[in-house]
Structure 1
Amino acid sequence: MKFGLWDHVDQSHLPLAELFDKRLEYVAAADDAGFYCYHVAEHHVTPLNMVPAPSVYLGAVARVTKQIRMGPLVYLVPLYTPLRLIEEICMLDHLSHGRFDIGIGRGISPYELEHFPVNFETGREVMVEALEAIISGLSNDKLNHSGEYYSYNDTPMELRPLQQPHPPVWYGSTSDLGSEWAGETGLNFVTLGSMEKAKRCVDVYQEAYAKRGAPLTASDDFPGGTAIGAVRHLVITDSVDEAVAIGKPAYDHWYASLTKLQRNNVAGPVIAKSMYEDVGEAVENGLVLVGPPDAIAENLENQIKELGINYLTLGFYFGTLPHEQAMRSLTLFADEVMPKLSHL
């Protein structure tokens, strides 16, 4: 088992400069504690995400860490061109000394994308074609691609990635369609949602991946060469009651940010189908874990075995959660939970 961090870097009550400073301190602590990778989201025109240019933010992360891998989960690919992403990926791979991972996605929110000159309905096709061009450009001295959305003819690739042939590629999904495509393409995969929903996505992914038979790029870090993971939020304290008292206001704030687009845009709603408004329901369904380290370890061991995963992406820092509590949860997990689960 490997353990990574998941982070929306969502709006809190802190000034933005202070939020960034504290997040970098948090990631540096995760680096020291032995976490595998730091994954950040990309969203736009929403309080859910204060790093809508993830490459800029991850450039800073690269310079305050030494071991932890990092990457967007995901780049909203329709908002870029393949050439631009290739160049950013190469820069970040070198800034991090070969610790960069690529996450790709189409974007789940029509409200976000309607503020850009892109068509939400064609987002999946654009993403699939863009990935083909990106992999080609990262793997060759010249980019040649002819498709419906992009065309390149002997475009010089003066920037090359440090990792050869290219950095690992990740995809996140909560749908059968997305899970199947990730498996068919051989990508590292992360899902979220209730145990039932996450299990469904993992099963669909594994069935599709088995037919492919090999990863896009194999990694020795994961059995079979690919990561299969789930996202969970955690608040670790001495007791369940204390964790709920600390975590509920932060979760409520985070959920309000998550669903603001839905509330304010009835014409193109963003339905938070994979989450629960009530933190109690989220705990009951396994999305949020609260309490002391021993209980957290037991719960996660059961989830790992039931879901059939080899990776967990954990959110210790969300909403208005105090910085001190995020650091406390991270430290307790690294010291008292991770050693009990790493053998799985």
Structure 2
Amino acid sequence: MKFAVFDHMDRSTVTLAQQYEDRLALVEAYDRAGFYAYHVAEHHSTPLGIAPSPSVYLSAVAQRTRRLRFGPLVYTLGMHHPLRVMEEICMLDQMSGGRLEVGFGRGISPYELGYYGVDPAHAQGIYHESFQIIMQGLTQATVNFQGKYFDLRDVPVEMQCVQRPTPPIWYGAGTPGATQWTAENAVNIVCNGMPAQVRAITDQYRVHWEALGHPPETIPYLGVSRHIVVADTDGEALETARRAYQRWYAHLMHLWVKHGTRPQTLSFPDNFDDAQRAGLGIAGSPETVRRWIAAAAEETGVNYFVCRMAFGDLTREESLRSTQLFAEHILPALTEPEPTSTQA
């Protein structure tokens, strides 16, 4: 199993400049710790995300790390021109020496889409056309596409990625219905839902993968994302997580509260204790967290575990300590070792 980090980059209590610097220092710690990848969200006009331009932020990540893979999870394609996204993908992959992981989505918040003048009813159609254009631009010398939203004729492509034909592609899967397309295109997935929901998705992905004639051991990454806080004792970790989660949850709900509504589907309770009981996160000592993650991975059927290790008002020191303990006591115990040359 691989371990990665997901970051909403929600608004902390320090200045914006300090938060960016604190987070980049934390990303350097992820790099040293041995995490496989770092995924960052894209949000707009909300304290849930202060990295609304993932490419700008990730260009700094590329320069501050050496081994860690990274990328957006996701680029919200309903809010961008696909040619611009394609070119930024190429730039980031080149600047990092081929370490980019790319997630695509339509944009989940109707309010964020609306602020950009996008009708949420059209977001899915824009996403599908944008994805086709980007894939064409990453693999061909000229883009030609005629659709409902885009009409591109003989557009020359001057940019290329290090990783060919494309960097690894990611998708946020919320239902088993998303698994046929993702399996057919060998797309990696990450899920946020309850354990039983995640298991239904990973089981269905494996059914499609094997039906396509692929060996089980070649399956892409099937991931789950969970809030994780590690401290020297269970009590200290839980107290820290309760405080930070409260602020993060307020950010999660910010635009919905502003508009007097609630999301139709919401997996997250409004407090960390209920989230932990539901299997959506863990706060504890290294031994407590290690046992919980091992059980959670077995329950959900994932081979990729994504930790939300910086959220709410967690301080730089608290997040660094959590990362250190995770690296010393959890990663070595649960990470599958790379095969030796003889094994390969």
The bucket for the TM-score relative to the shorter chain is over 0.9
Provide the residue aligned with 2:285 in structure 1: 292
Provide the residue aligned with 1:152 in structure 2: 152
Provide the residue aligned with 2:126 in structure 1: 126
8 Å contact kept, 1:73–1:104: yes
Is 2:341 the counterpart of 1:318?
no
Provide the residue aligned with 1:218 in structure 2: none
Deviation at 1:176, TM superposition (A): 3.7
Deviation at 1:200, TM superposition (A): 2.4
One-letter amino acid matched to 2:117: P
Deviation at 1:180, TM superposition (A): 4.4
Deviation at 1:238, TM superposition (A): 2.2
Q: State the Cα deviation string for residues 131-185 of structure 1 (Å, max 9, x = none).
A: 1111111001111222222222221101111111111110012234444443343
Provide the residue aligned with 1:227 in structure 2: 221
8 Å contact kept, 1:110–1:270: no
Deviation at 1:214, TM superposition (A): 5.7
Provide the residue aligned with 1:185 in structure 2: 185
Is 2:229 the counterpart of 1:243?
no
Distance in 1 between residues matched to 2:92 and 2:242, nearest whole Å: 36
Provide the residue aligned with 1:23 in structure 2: 23
8 Å contact kept, 1:259–1:272: no
Distance in 2 between residues matched to 1:150 and 1:207, nearest whole Å: 35
SS at the partner of 1:107?
A: coil
One-letter amino acid matched to 2:154: D
Provide the residue aligned with 1:263 in structure 2: 257
Deviation at 1:58, TM superposition (A): 0.3
8 Å contact kept, 2:7–2:40: yes
One-letter amino acid matched to 2:268: M
Provide the residue aligned with 2:340 in structure 1: none
Distance in 2 between residues matched to 1:260 and 1:201, nearest whole Å: 29
Provide the residue aligned with 2:61 in structure 1: 61
Distance in 2 between residues matched to 1:214 and 1:298, nearest whole Å: 32
One-letter amino acid matched to 1:240: D
Q: State the Cα deviation string for residues 271-311 of structure 1 (Å, max 9, x = none).
A: 56121112111111111111111111111111112211110
SS at the partner of 1:294?
A: helix
SS at the partner of 2:313?
A: coil
One-letter amino acid matched to 1:65: T
Distance in 2 between residues matched to 1:82 and 1:214, nearest whole Å: 31
One-letter amino acid matched to 2:124: R
Structure 1: stretches of 5+ with no match in the other structure: 216-221
Provide the residue aligned with 2:270 in structure 1: 277
8 Å contact kept, 2:234–2:288: no
Deviation at 1:117, TM superposition (A): 2.1
Provide the residue aligned with 1:332 in structure 2: 325
Deviation at 1:252, TM superposition (A): 0.1
8 Å contact kept, 2:77–2:106: yes
8 Å contact kept, 1:235–1:329: yes
8 Å contact kept, 2:2–2:336: no
Provide the residue aligned with 1:4 in structure 2: 4
Distance in 1 between residues matched to 2:105 and 2:289, nearest whole Å: 31
Aligned residues: 337
SS at the partner of 1:143?
A: strand
Distance in 1 between residues matched to 2:265 and 2:319, nearest whole Å: 24
Structure 2: stretches of 5+ with no match in the other structure: 338-344
8 Å contact kept, 2:229–2:322: yes
Mean CA deviation greater in 252-261 or 240-249 = 240-249
Change over 3 Å in CA distance of 1:68–1:281 after alignment to 2: same
Distance in 1 between residues matched to 2:246 and 2:92, nearest whole Å: 34
Deviation at 1:15, TM superposition (A): 0.2
8 Å contact kept, 2:11–2:49: yes
Distance in 2 between residues matched to 1:117 and 1:302, nearest whole Å: 44
TM-score (ref. length: structure 1): 0.93
Deviation at 1:98, TM superposition (A): 0.6
Distance in 1 between residues matched to 2:179 and 2:326, nearest whole Å: 29
One-letter amino acid matched to 1:230: V
Provide the residue aligned with 1:162 in structure 2: 162
Q: State the Cα deviation string for residues 229-267 of structure 1 (Å, max 9, x = none).
A: 000111111222111111111100000000111111136
8 Å contact kept, 1:186–1:214: no
